[in-house]
Chains A and B, each alone.
Chain A
Amino acid sequence: MQYLSQRLASKPSPGRGEGAAREALPAPQRERILDATERLVAEHGCADTSIEAIVKAAGVSSVTFYEFFESKEECFVAAFDRAVSWGGEELATATGAAELSWPERIATGLRAVTRLVVAEPARARLCLVEAQTGGPELSIRFEAALDRVAAKLREGRALETAPGDLPPTHEEATAGALAWLLRGRLEAGEVDGLEALYPELVDIALAPYLGGGGSRVPAAAQGDG
């Protein structure tokens, strides 16, 4: 069950130095493969993006592809990892500069995220839309990224105004809600409207910790309980 190009790219037997072929190749080829993957996946989705299309768009041979990745899925995961680590660095730059309080940090982070999505919609699509359709490994990565967001949100529980009895799942739900909203806009191609969504995202993320409660429904509509 091997393609010839896979076999040609297979690693040299031990003794010839591990990963010698890998090291020798210029890194830009890998980057080009990942760039092409990002573009193609954003356009066609994971299922309809073939290795053939990727190598063609990247201008490399399929042998080169297999030097770096064993399968299409592995390539998607690498593209996802690259996109997330890029996003993480951008976020750290945006939120790390000044001494920010927790609500300011969350708001600044959300502002940065919406800007990144507008600036790099293909990359955002890979992270938020396609990550959930590209196989089990990718969905594990997606869930792990969601957990990191949830952990940032959970720091809000230390605020004096935060209720002591929020359900343990609250932050997972919030992280999922934020991702869902961004995904919806990306799927609808309404990236331009994201700026307008920003205040809503902040409210959804922060309101539960800042006290005051909801109380937005007229008492009459709340029924008798």
Chain B
Amino acid sequence: MAEPGTQATAARSATGERLPPGRHGLPRVFVAENQRERLLNGVVEAVAEHGYNATTITAITAAAKISRRTFYEYFEGKEDCFLAAYEMIEAHVLDSMLAPPGAEAPWPDRVRIRLAALLDALGRDAAISRCFLVEPLAAGGEVAARYREAMQLLAATLRPEPPPSELDMEVRDQALVGGIVTLIVRRLNSGGAPRLPELLPDLVELALAPYMDREEAKRQALAVV
């Protein structure tokens, strides 16, 4: 047994099972994932606290409690690291919006369920919310491009089907996202993340009203998820 179960252990760590104790310490693959994840968490903490432009590698490694040298084993620099964190956040937020209960429901309910999922995901964590919606613009470059793409996807999850043919849906999508992001960021700044779910009826009405009778949009907005 020259290499005791390296592959098996790696497979197990990938499925999230508990790792067997061993005197050789944690398997390399696991250590790697763990360090990378800690750095991703570090960049989120640092960027949310200082803003993207003022964030230094030192701030990231300090928040992650990982050495500078290790940082450069995983990432080329700040942008690379923030982009990786952004992709993870984006996947999490959009996945929670696209979860089954919404996908199966008729359009107005789907909008309400998905917006509730969005506010719930963001309401749990102010730092993540800032990194998802505020800082990508300051970061610019690839992160900003990714952010614009994510916002388009977000709007697409709320579209009526079929979309009304006389409207330019690209413009409507952008207008809706602009409204939603404005309200979320403002609430984040004034009341903090825990108060985000309070925005639900307003966002639902914003998403539905252009396409349906107002009374009905209101009724939907006030319905309980």
Contact = CB atoms under 8 A, between A and B. Distances in A.
Interface of A: 45-47, 129, 132-133, 135-136, 143, 146, 163, 165, 167-170, 172-181, 184, 187, 197, 200, 204, 207-208, 213-218, 221-225
Contacts of B214: 163, 213-214
Nearest to B145: A187
A148 to B, nearest CB: 14
Contact of B182 (A129, A180, A216): A180
30 contacts: A45-B140, A132-B138, A133-B138, A135-B51, A136-B51, A167-B201, A167-B205, A172-B183, A172-B186, A173-B183, A177-B178, A177-B182, A178-B175, A180-B179, A180-B182, A181-B171, A184-B148, A207-B210, A213-B212, A214-B212, A214-B213, A216-B164, A216-B166, A216-B210, A217-B160, A217-B164, A217-B211, A222-B107, A224-B106, A225-B216
Interface in B140-176: 140, 148, 160-162, 164, 166-168, 171, 174-176
Interface of B: 51, 53, 105-109, 137-138, 140, 148, 160-162, 164, 166-168, 171, 174-183, 186, 199, 201-202, 205-206, 208-221, 223
7 shortest interchain CB distances as A-B pairs: A223-B106, A180-B178, A176-B182, A173-B179, A216-B164, A177-B178, A177-B175
Contacts of B210: 207, 214, 216
A151 B211 CA distance: 25
A200 B218 CA distance: 23
A138 B4 CA distance: 58
Contacts of A46: 53
Contacts, number: 131
Contacts of B164: 216-217
Given A173-B202, A176-B181, A177-B175, A222 B137 contact: no
B109 A200 contact: no
A181 B177 CA distance: 10
Nearest to B136: A133
B53 A215 contact: no
A223 B110 CA distance: 10
A200 B214 CA distance: 20
Given A47-B138, A180-B182, A222-B212, 13 more contacts: A46-B53, A173-B180, A173-B183, A184-B148, A184-B174, A200-B171, A204-B175, A213-B213, A214-B208, A221-B162, A222-B160, A223-B105, A223-B107
